[in-house]
Structure 1
Amino acid sequence: MKAGADMRIAGKTLCVFVMLMITKLIRTAGNNEVLVTVGNSSVLTCSPKTNITMVTWKINPKAGGSCTLGYRADLNKTDRTNCSDNMNWKFRPDRDPALEIRQVGRAHEGIYTCEVVATEGNFHKTHHLTVQVPPRLTLYCAGHGSPVCEAVAGKPPAQISWVPQNNSTSREEGHVDGTVTVVSMFTASSTNMTYTTCIVSHPAGNQSKSIACGPSNNNGFIVLISIILCFLILITMAVVYYLRFQSDRLCHKTKSPETASPSSPQDDTMEVEPYTTYVQKENVIYNSVSDLTVGQNLPQGLLPAT
């Protein structure tokens, strides 16, 4: 019985010793949360050790396939699998196995794990990379004269505040790429609006814009619409008048023969003139015969043959 108890105690002691050795050989530096603004560069550190035998970066992005960067000291060789060109060693991997990401994009978001094999043991360090996207600020006057501020496509969602402080209503609109648009409407307390300022707070940087909204803006819009309508009416009237004028000219040029003007008196004279000439010739012949009869003292019944 005593021997069995001693064996159990020895076994527990051995287990504790083994666990301590494992803890000593495999050290975890912990998980680090890394925030990077899109477009910037980021350097992810690893556990720098002397007498490094092998280093491996394992990258698992949220979107797309995984990739690896590796280094072997015995071959003095580096290799990469499925990693983009903007991922590379910051320094020499045998001295400092840090990883550099140039021009971080949304696709780089994910988990980055560095594993180091050295004479001292095995070490690994994990980074959770989160990419921040600064929103695009837009500020305008709504149809009823209230200012509206939008923080478009930000990650994480932005916070909107107003100066002067007043009642406002906000809503969020999520997008497929993980960004969020925040819309806030300022509630005016009076019709005489002064300048209002929209302030957008975001981890990637703060922004602000000012605007003045009120009834005057709506009146100006109505006046502009009225001027445009009057201009269109004038153009329409001018086109109608021009088409009507061209139509009247065409009708005058294509009059029918029945409506033509009557013939002139000169034409009537030309038509009557042949008959008048004939009558005059007959009178001359008759007068000649009469003169001959009288000169010869012949009875009128006995006329010479003609």
Structure 2
Amino acid sequence: MMRISQQARWCRRPASSRHARAALEEIWKTIYIVVLLTITAVTGATGNRMAAQAGHSTVMACPHRTGATMVTWKISPKIGGPCTLEFRADQNRVHRTNCSDSVKSEFQPEQFYALEIQQVGMADEGNYSCELVNQEGNFHQMYQLTVLVPPRLSLYCDNHSIPVCKAAAGRPAAEILWVPENSSMTEIDSHDNGTVTVLSRFTAHSTNRKTVTCKVYHATLNETMSTDCSSHSITWFLHHVMILGCLLSLIFLFALFHLYVFCDNRTMRKQ
């Protein structure tokens, strides 16, 4: 009986060993997945949203890694075709494909192979990605570039002495507020190039303040402008009175001339 029980225990050992190996494999699989996810998080692409003002320059950098053997910038603008800049350290050369002169990169390690766009324009808006290769692997950095256009501002009094505040051709659309806070009428006009013109009329007729203030809020600026359209109304009235007076004077002189001619003709007939 002792021999049989011992044999039974020896027969059961392989089964428990197989279970142990299966459990160990599951543990290693879990560790492997965790390591893969960690590597993906470290080396995977990360995206940054950037905004640059039109007419200014902007700089984007590659991943902060040393010992790069190859660096590649890929640009996918919303307008026009793709552009590629490729740098190989072993050859110390840069290969450009379909890139404008405003896109520059000196590919200096101390500058993290930064890409500079000079005189940013609407055509530069799009996606930018940098791939850096070194002995540790491949590293990516992605950017989504949005171009901001400051609006042209003006504040004036229309023909009816109503204050009008205008933010022309801005991107994105500007926000206009009035002081004192009263009702206003806003018109928005979108242009083909993506810019927007916002025009606001101060429609409040009863206010104790002669001077009204227009506040313009935009991603590129915050401006405050003031005007007094009451003086403009008086000037407009005097201007029209002067015009009317000149017309009446001309009519009076014309009538006086005809009266003189008429009287002179009658005198000549009597003689």
When the two structures are superposed, what TM-score results if normalisation uses the length of structure 2? 0.74
Paired amino acid for 1:129: L
State the match for 1:44 in structure 2: 60
Check 1:88–1:22 CA distance in 2 against 1; reply closer, same or farther (3 A cut): farther
Which segments of structure 1 move beyond 6 Å, counting only runs of 4 or more?
6-9
State the match for 2:112 in structure 1: 96
Q: Which runs of 5+ in 2 are unaligned?
A: 1-14, 262-271
The CA distance in 2 between the partners of 1:58 and 1:22, in whole Å, is: 25
2:146 alignment partner, one of 115, 123, 130: 130
Pairwise CA distance, 1:11: 8.7
Deviations 1:255-291 (A, max 9, x none): xxxxxxxxxxxxxxxxxxxxxxxxxxxxxxxxxxxxx
1:194 alignment partner, one of 193, 210, 229: 210
Q: Is the 8 A contact 2:133 2:139 kept in 1?
A: yes
The CA distance in 2 between the partners of 1:222 and 1:143, in whole Å, is: 11
Aligned alpha-carbon RMSD (Å): 3.3
State the match for 1:257 in structure 2: none
State the match for 1:24 in structure 2: 39
Pairwise CA distance, 1:194: 0.9
Paired amino acid for 1:127: Y
Q: Is the 8 A contact 2:48 2:142 kept in 1?
A: yes
Give yes or no for the alignment of 1:142 onto 2:154: no
The CA distance in 1 between the partners of 2:110 and 2:198, in whole Å, is: 47
State the match for 2:194 in structure 1: 178
Secondary structure in 2 matching 1:143: coil
Q: Is the 8 A contact 1:55 1:93 kept in 2?
A: no
Query: Pairwise mapping of residues 183-262 of structure 1 onto structure 2 (< 5 A)?
Result: 183-190=199-206, 194-214=210-230, 216-228=231-243, 231=246, 234=250
Pairwise CA distance, 1:149: 0.8
Pairwise CA distance, 1:52: 0.9
1:112 alignment partner, one of 128, 133, 140: 128
Check 1:7–1:223 CA distance in 2 against 1; reply closer, same or farther (3 A cut): same
Secondary structure in 2 matching 1:20: helix
1:53 alignment partner, one of 69, 73, 96: 69
Secondary structure in 2 matching 1:221: helix
Q: Is the 8 A contact 2:66 2:109 kept in 1?
A: no
Count matched residues: 238
Q: Which runs of 5+ in 1 are unaligned?
A: 246-306
Paired amino acid for 2:239: L
Higher-Rg structure is: 1
Pairwise CA distance, 1:170: 2.1
Secondary structure in 1 matching 2:193: coil
The CA distance in 1 between the partners of 2:241 and 2:170, in whole Å, is: 40
Check 1:19–1:84 CA distance in 2 against 1; reply closer, same or farther (3 A cut): farther
Paired amino acid for 1:160: I
Deviations 1:211-254 (A, max 9, x none): 1113x53443244245446657849x78xx8xxx9xxxxxxxxx
When the two structures are superposed, what TM-score results if normalisation uses the length of structure 1? 0.67
- Percent identity for Structure 1 against Structure 2: 44
